[in-house]
A and B are shown apart, each in its own frame.
Chain A
Amino acid sequence: AQRVTQPEKLLSVFKGAPVELKCNYSYSGSPELFWYVQYSRQRLQLLLRHISRESIKGFTADLNKGETSFHLKKPFAQEEDSAMYYCALTYGNKLVFGAGTILRVKS
């Protein structure tokens, strides 16, 4: 079955520290993977998609098919990065989401 696992409910780091939000997936085929961000109960916004291989707000994510992972990374966390982050994959008509990880960046 298609599944997205985000093992950490909460990740707390200090400002300026590196960040890695973990995401593992199970999918039979070639997945299309995304990271979405939700700031303080606002709407979900697309942060990254693996196809575009771009960097947004300093975040990057690399698809590792061997490890079935799509971890989100940023070298230096900023306070405004505090939010809920969701990893998701496309399956047919729908997005399958992980449970989300709350990132708290402390000053």
Chain B
Amino acid sequence: NAGVMQNPRHLVRRRGQEARLRCSPMKGHSHVYWYRQLPEEGLKFMVYLQKENIIDESGMPKERFSAEFPKEGPSILRIQQVVRGDSAAYFCASSPLQGNGYTFGSGTRLTVV
């Protein structure tokens, strides 16, 4: 079992471009969570998804950010028209049950130049 796989590990985007971050959960896990880690801050919850459904997006910025977890394939966190303030590490976690048994990926470090 390869664990939670996130790619890319590092992503550089110019201001105004789009960033797409991918997360493949552990085998058998149908719950996916995205967290953002800003410099000097802890991880902040962004969104919780189950297959094809967004369950809780209370931590997602209202604009430019979206997430999906299709029936087939990885979960995608999409940031449109990136700005410098989006530079952060984005971590994905998956679990077999809601809110229990989290396993984290290695994260994607987004740098906006």
Contacts and interface: CB of A to CB of B under 8 A. Distances in A.
Given A43-B107, A86-B43, A92 B56 contact: yes
Interface stretch (A55-63, A66-74, A97-105): A97-105
A17 interface: no
B41 A99 contact: yes
Interface string A82-101: 00001000101111111110
Contacts of B56: 92-94
B65 interface: no
7 contacts: A42-B106, A43-B104, A43-B107, A44-B91, A45-B104, A90-B99, A93-B98
A20 B13 CA distance: 40
A97 B33 CA distance: 14
Contacts of A94: 33, 45, 48, 56, 59, 99
Nearest to B100: A90
A53 B98 CA distance: 22
B105 interface: yes
Contacts of A46: 102
Interface of B: 3-4, 33, 35, 40-45, 48, 55-56, 59, 91, 93, 98-100, 102, 104-107
Interface of A: 4, 6, 9, 36, 41-46, 86, 90, 92-100
A44 B104 contact: yes
A103 B104 CA distance: 21
A99 B56 CA distance: 22
Given A43-B104, A44-B91, A90-B99, A97 B48 contact: no
A97 B55 CA distance: 20
Contacts of B41: 99
A90 B40 CA distance: 22
